[in-house]
Amino acid sequence: MLELRLVQGSLLKKVLESIRELVTDANFDCSATGFSLQAMDSSHVALVALLLRSEGFEHYRCDRNLSMGMNLNNVSKMLRCAGNDDIITVKADDGSDTVTFMFESPNQDKIADFEMKLMDIDSEHLGIPDAEYQAIVRMPSSEFARICKDLSSIGDTVIISVTKEGVKFSTAGDIGTANIVCRQNKTVDKPEEATIIEMQEPVSLTFALRYLNSFTKATPLSETVAISLSSDLPVVVEYKIAEMGYIRFYLAPKIEEDDDMKP
Amino acid sequence: MLELRLVQGSLLKKVLESIRELVTDANFDCSATGFSLQAMDSSHVALVALLLRSEGFEHYRCDRNLSMGMNLNNVSKMLRCAGNDDIITVKADDGSDTVTFMFESPNQDKIADFEMKLMDIDSEHLGIPDAEYQAIVRMPSSEFARICKDLSSIGDTVIISVTKEGVKFSTAGDIGTANIVCRQNKTVDKPEEATIIEMQEPVSLTFALRYLNSFTKATPLSETVAISLSSDLPVVVEYKIAEMGYIRFYLAPKIEEDDDMKP
Amino acid sequence: MLELRLVQGSLLKKVLESIRELVTDANFDCSATGFSLQAMDSSHVALVALLLRSEGFEHYRCDRNLSMGMNLNNVSKMLRCAGNDDIITVKADDGSDTVTFMFESPNQDKIADFEMKLMDIDSEHLGIPDAEYQAIVRMPSSEFARICKDLSSIGDTVIISVTKEGVKFSTAGDIGTANIVCRQNKTVDKPEEATIIEMQEPVSLTFALRYLNSFTKATPLSETVAISLSSDLPVVVEYKIAEMGYIRFYLAPKIEEDDDMKP
């Protein structure tokens, strides 16, 4: 039997909104450790990995490992029916082919339960090795989202270049070119407004803005984002979920020769 | 001659927005008692009845009974030109085929008059007998609107079931099922947040969500809604209009056999 | 070399939003005096004239007169990437076929530069003689915008009639007629809320609402608008830009016989 009770239910709503643009169907994996998901986007270019650790739930019971296949748009439709202050409980009986989402209003006057049929989804769980990155940029998540959105009005790809002084985002398109430089800045009033560069060596990589823009749907989950870059690895765009875990997006850099082949 | 002056002009704007989705053309009936309207929706399934009593107007002059046919979208277009703080006066000369809406800004610096041609609309005035209902549910209008909207993302019809403990709204659709229970709750800080059940006997009826959603356009008119249910009668969804009257929506329950015939 | 630094960068964003609906491509003319633009709308019915005086810039360097042809939608795309508190610098080298917009965040942590190719645009600079007008109406710009928008829901043209007492805006359409009268009112708490009529003689002129509505895109630039009317001249709709200049829109009145010929 599975029963996960999350007082801050709005968090689960935000998690769904973060990934449903990228992923259509996915397996949610429940174990004693936590509630997790790993899925490729429909074009098999980007990967998303979610972890919500069991300690973050008010109540967490998972008798045996369970993989629940769901259509994320349908889950999102149901979760959007939860109030922002609602407590959300996810329930599934062993062997059952349904999952139930229960929403309780803070004063307990309104209780809703939504039941959804589970799906069989083929998925291979990729092992993602821990890696050393040439550069890690930590910056306000809203700033990163704004930059990706702004550059998308000019071009399709972005070159992210990191030096000790800062990080530069560049693009070019029919109407012109754009460069946005964010300087390292550790001495701000609020730590979540800092831009911090951890760099082993300078790195400069090209990515499709379309995917980065999808990743930034996770902005409401965290005030900061960490972007880990290495020439020979996919970029990791990580949003920490306070006291619970994270959502991480992986995207392979574009290689020059790819430009003509991938739209 | 007809001359109705309403200081709280925004109320008339809200009334129009409440009904224009449901009804295209309708007769506004004016008598010494008040300003009223009764109309079927275009598919002849739902009925709306509006009453604004003469005492609610700052000035109310209606020399003889008058029935004014209007296209509600056109009335709405004109009323949307009134500021929210404007005083609205409705004027018509005896025998005239036009009606005039006059909008005065609070400081009298801006005065607008909008004249509209009246239409001839055939309509039969249905006598609606007072009835005893098996159950009357009073609840916050915004809560009812939210429930109808949320359930619409799952299914097309809702089963409303009333017991002494509370009212349950249920639906089912391709993606799953949903139940929302609102418990009776009389002891809240603000009376308009209470959910109160007056019940003679339990009742459970099925309705098309599409119409209920249309009814909830009246939500801005009142903080509470009263839903009166009996197995052999149309449901009445009533929004009181403070110190003036009401807007009531009537809808026949769906019968099992109907399910396949009405989309 | 050209280098114009504007601390209040949001102003330049608002200027672009004011004119890009009306004008597609235009030359920005820079001289020692200031930064200006004059352009006809694409249907050659309305004229827009912009002036930003050099004194209004924090730094203004223009070594020789320069005319820079730009697609306003593209400029707008770039300027929308500037934050509302950003400092904007416009730069161009002599003989260069590009212009650069630089955006600096208030704390200098984020610096963006956007480069755009210039275009060759044929344009004839019209001399606009100073004229005496029969009537000048000064009123809150938001009020004027609201009136143009409201009347557009009823008709296509507006008759603006000025007398000593006030200004009347009238229209007629399929669904009816509308008249909005704004009375002269000099004694208001805030001067920007005044409606002031300067009149030599009464005047009544007809204009296409479509263009007036386009002009009101400049509303965010100024709290007041001045409408200058004479029977034999185009109307001038002027929005002052605080301490910098103005944006003026010119539109010829409609003549009765035109009604059938111009859509």
User: Tell me: the pLDDT tens digits for A43-74?
Assistant: 899 999 999 999 999 999 999 999 999 999 99
- Is C55 part of any domain? yes
Cα C169 to Cα B258: distance, rounded to the nearest angstrom: 54
Q: Could you give the number of structural domains in chain C? A: 2
* Residue B97 CB coordination number (10 Å): 13
Averaged pLDDT, B144-160: 98
Write the residue in B175, B177, B182 that is nearest to A109 by C-beta.
Answer: B182
- For chain B, say whether C233 makes contact (Cβ under 8 Å): no
Percentage helix, strand, coil for chain A under 3-state DSSP, each rounded to 5: 20, 45, 35
The proportion of chain B whose per-residue pLDDT surpasses 90, expressed as a percent, equals 84
Write the residue in B80, B109, B114 that is nearest to C182 by C-beta.
Answer: B109
At B214-248, the pLDDT tens digits run: 999 999 999 999 999 999 899 999 999 988 999 99
Is the domain of C141 the same as that of C93? no
- Is C125 part of any domain? no
Rg (CA), chain B: 20
- For chain C, say whether B81 makes contact (Cβ under 8 Å): yes
Nearest chain B residue to A116 by CA: give it: B176
**Positive or negative: CA dihedral A204, A206, A209, A215:** negative
**CATH number, domain containing residue B154:** 3.70.10.10
In 3D space, the residue among A10, A241, A38, A20 whose CA is nearest the CA of residue A126 turns out to be A38
Is the domain of C247 the same as that of C146? yes
Query: Coil, strand or helix: which one is A151?
Result: helix
- Is C127 part of any domain? no
pLDDT in the model for residue A255? 83
Cα-based distances in Å from B8 to B13, B192, B207, B227: 10, 21, 34, 26
Cα-based distances in Å from A255 to A235, A237, A261: 13, 19, 10
Helix (H) or strand (E) holding B54: none
Query: Coil, strand or helix: which one is B96?
Result: coil
Contacts of residue C116 in chain A, CB cutoff 8 Å?
A: 175-176
Query: Coil, strand or helix: which one is B219?
Result: helix
Is the domain of A109 the same as that of A141? no
Is the domain of B100 the same as that of B211? no
Cα A103 to Cα A67: distance, rounded to the nearest angstrom: 22
Is the domain of B151 the same as that of B248? yes
Contacts of residue A185 in chain C, CB cutoff 8 Å?
A: 107, 109
Is the domain of B246 the same as that of B140? yes
Mutate to test the interface with C, among A138, A148, A150 (most CBs of C within 10 A): A150
Is the domain of B216 the same as that of B107? no
- Is A130 part of any domain? no
Cα-based distances in Å from B135 to A199, B130, C115: 69, 14, 69
Is the domain of B23 the same as that of B113? yes
Is the domain of A63 the same as that of A147? no
At A125-162, the pLDDT tens digits run: 888 888 899 999 999 999 999 999 999 999 999 999 99
Alpha helices in C33-85 (DSSP H): 72-79
Averaged pLDDT, C69-91: 97
Contacts of residue A74 in chain B, CB cutoff 8 Å?
A: 175-176
Chains that touch B (3 or more CB pairs under 8 A): A, C
- Is C124 part of any domain? no
Cα-based distances in Å from C138 to A230, C195, C228: 61, 6, 9
Residue A224 CB contacts under 8 Å (≥ 6 apart), including other chains:
A138, A139, A140, A141, A192, A240
Q: How confident is the model at residue C255 (pLDDT cuts 50, 70, 90)?
A: confident
Query: Coil, strand or helix: which one is B41?
Result: coil
Give the distance from residue B195's alpha carbon to the nearest chain A alpha carbon, in angstroms.
9
Task: For residue B231, give its domain range.
Answer: 135-261
Asked if the Cβ–Cβ distance from B81 to C183 is below 8 Å, we say no
Q: In what order do the strands lie in the sheet containing B34-40?
A: B66-71, B25-30, B34-40, B46-53, B245-251, B235-241, B224-229, B135-140, B196-199
Question: Domain end: B117, B145, B160, which one?
Answer: B117
Beta bridge partners of B238: B226, B248
Is the domain of C139 the same as that of C256? yes
* Residue A162 CB coordination number (10 Å): 24
- Is C128 part of any domain? no
Identity of the amino acid at C97: D
Is the domain of A139 the same as that of A252? yes
pLDDT in the model for residue C257? 52
Contacts of residue C181 in chain B, CB cutoff 8 Å?
A: 110-112
- Is B123 part of any domain? no
- Is A38 part of any domain? yes
- For chain B, say whether C252 makes contact (Cβ under 8 Å): no
Give the distance from residue C81's alpha carbon to the nearest chain A alpha carbon, in angstroms.
5
Mutate to test the interface with A, among B183, B186, B189 (most CBs of A within 10 A): B183
Q: CA B214 from chain center: how many Å?
A: 9
Pick the more confident residue, A123 or C202: C202
The token pair at B18 is: 């409440």
Query: Coil, strand or helix: which one is C119?
Result: strand
Cα-based distances in Å from B260 to B43, B107, B155, B254, C154: 17, 57, 15, 11, 43
Cα A78 to Cα A99: distance, rounded to the nearest angstrom: 11
pLDDT at C261 over 50: no
Is the domain of B16 the same as that of B85? yes
Averaged pLDDT, B29-41: 95
Asked if the Cβ–Cβ distance from C98 to A185 is below 8 Å, we say no
What is the number of alpha carbons within 13 Å of residue C226 lying toward its C-beta? Answer: 13
